[in-house]
Amino acid sequence: MFLAKMIKEKKKELYCSFIMLMFINSLANGQILLPKTPTPVAPPGYGSSIDNTLKTKRKYRMQRNQEIRSLEKPTQSEDSKQLLSETLAERPLRLAIETNLIYPRIKTTKNRDNYTTDITSHLKVFLRNNKDLRSNVSQFWYGARIAMFSGTGEQNNKPGRYGFTYFGPMVGVGKISLGTHSLGNEKMAISSQQRMQLPVRSGWFWMMGVSAQSILSSRESTEDEPEDDFNSSKKISFDPPGLWLEYTYFQIHYGALGLHYSVGAQQGKGKLFVYLGLGIAGWN
């Protein structure tokens, strides 16, 4: 009886061992698949709540930055309106003060050789006398001019350096257009999405005059040497014929800033200056 019980328990152990070996063998061969670990699921509304919070904070920061910028300076639309208002403001355009950068050349005669010229500058003041006449009608203009020329050369085979300043009144005719838009059209629409087109006025001058001459010489006057372009005892004189003529084309931007382009000639004794000029002017 005891022997039979021992045999029965031994069979049960052998059976369990056999089952375990079969299970390990199947697992090693991939015949048994273990269940996948389930993915954790966030509670409903958890992710969307975080996104909404971040979006709200980002929107608040953007609004705050815009408010700070608006307090620091006017908006682009306000700047454009102010600029347009200044441009379209009524101005009589009777007075202009111009300064030019001049590129001159010189032609000489009468024992003058190898003359050179330096880049220089001119100053002019324009005045329209008839304030009742519209500016887009050709009319007389008056004013004054200061023109400086300098360089080196030889006169009577003697080298030296000259410095001439021609000055005097001027007179001529001129005309200023009304521009691409009427100056009274202050109700022009402004679009912040498009580039604002500001009106530009253009015009021209033909000016001329007779000028006196101031000389800055590099040699002192002596009794043995005759006076010339480099040796003069007179600080202010007349350089005959002293005539000059100039044509100027210009554009007026922003209602008061002029860009001027000039070509002209200045004649003196035994010399003729011709030049090109680029300048700016203030208009009122």
The C-alpha atoms of residue 164 and residue 100 are separated, in whole angstroms, by: 17
Res 73: pLDDT: 55
Res 57: pLDDT: 76
The DSSP annotation for 98-118 comes to EEEEEEEEEEE-SSEES----
Pairing mode, if any, of strands 95-108 and 120-128?
antiparallel
The C-alpha atoms of residue 140 and residue 206 are separated, in whole angstroms, by: 10
Reported in sequence order, the residue ranges of the chain that DSSP labels E, i.e. its strands, are 95-108, 112-113, 120-128, 139-155, 158-176, 201-210, 212-215, 236-237, 243-253, 257-268, 271-283
**Residue 163 Cα distances to 30, 200, 213, 214, 277, angstroms:** 107, 38, 10, 8, 19
pLDDT tens digit string along 188-212?
444 443 445 677 889 999 999 999 9
Rounded to an integer, the average pLDDT of 48-56 is 68
The C-alpha atoms of residue 74 and residue 87 are separated, in whole angstroms, by: 18
Res 277: pLDDT: 97
Q: How much is the pTM?
A: 0.64
pLDDT tens digit string along 231-247?
766 778 888 889 999 99
Band (2; pLDDT cuts 50, 70, 90): low
pLDDT of 143 above 80: yes
Computed over every residue of the chain, the mean pLDDT equals: 79
pLDDT tens digit string along 214-232?
888 765 555 566 667 777 6
Highest mean pLDDT among 37-41, 52-56, 151-155: 151-155
